[in-house]
């Protein structure tokens, strides 16, 4: 299940319509619709706001660069 499906499922489990969710989470309805439709561009701050509403958080991990130097 991808992130958009998980968010939609969380919203539905909370018994919220897209309009109610947008209002309560302080988001625009257009953003919520585009997020659930899987639009390719989503602002990370807004995505984090969605996740925080449901008690989740976004964690970004950075891999250490591989040492490509030989010898």
Q: Look at residue 66 and give its three-state secondary structure.
A: coil
- pLDDT class for 32, splitting at 50, 70, 90? very high
With CA atoms as reference, report the closest residue to 52 among 17, 34, 26: 26
The per-residue pLDDT for 18 is 96
The alpha carbon dihedral of 31, 18, 8, 11 has a sign of positive
When mean pLDDT is compared over 13-17, 32-36, 65-69, the highest value belongs to: 13-17
Provide the Cα torsion 23, 24, 30, 33; round to 10°: -130
Spell out the domains of the chain, with CATH numbers in brackets: 3-53 (1.10.260.40)
pLDDT confidence of 55, banded at 50, 70, 90?
very high
Whether residue 42 has pLDDT greater than 80: no
Nearest-CA neighbor of 54 among 4, 7, 2? 7
DSSP helix/strand/coil, 56: coil
Report field, pTM of the whole predicted structure over 0.85 = no
Q: For a pLDDT cut of 70, what percent of the chain falls above it?
A: 92
């Amino acid at each position: 299940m991808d992130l958009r499906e998980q968010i939609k499922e969380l919203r539905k489990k909370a018994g919220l319509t897209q309009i109610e969710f947008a209002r309560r989470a302080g988001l625009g309805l257009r953003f919520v619709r585009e997020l659930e439709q899987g639009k390719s561009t989503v602002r990370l701050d807004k995505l984090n706001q969605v996740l925080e509403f449901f008690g989740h958080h976004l964690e970004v991990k950075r891999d250490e660069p591989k040492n490509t130097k030989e010898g």
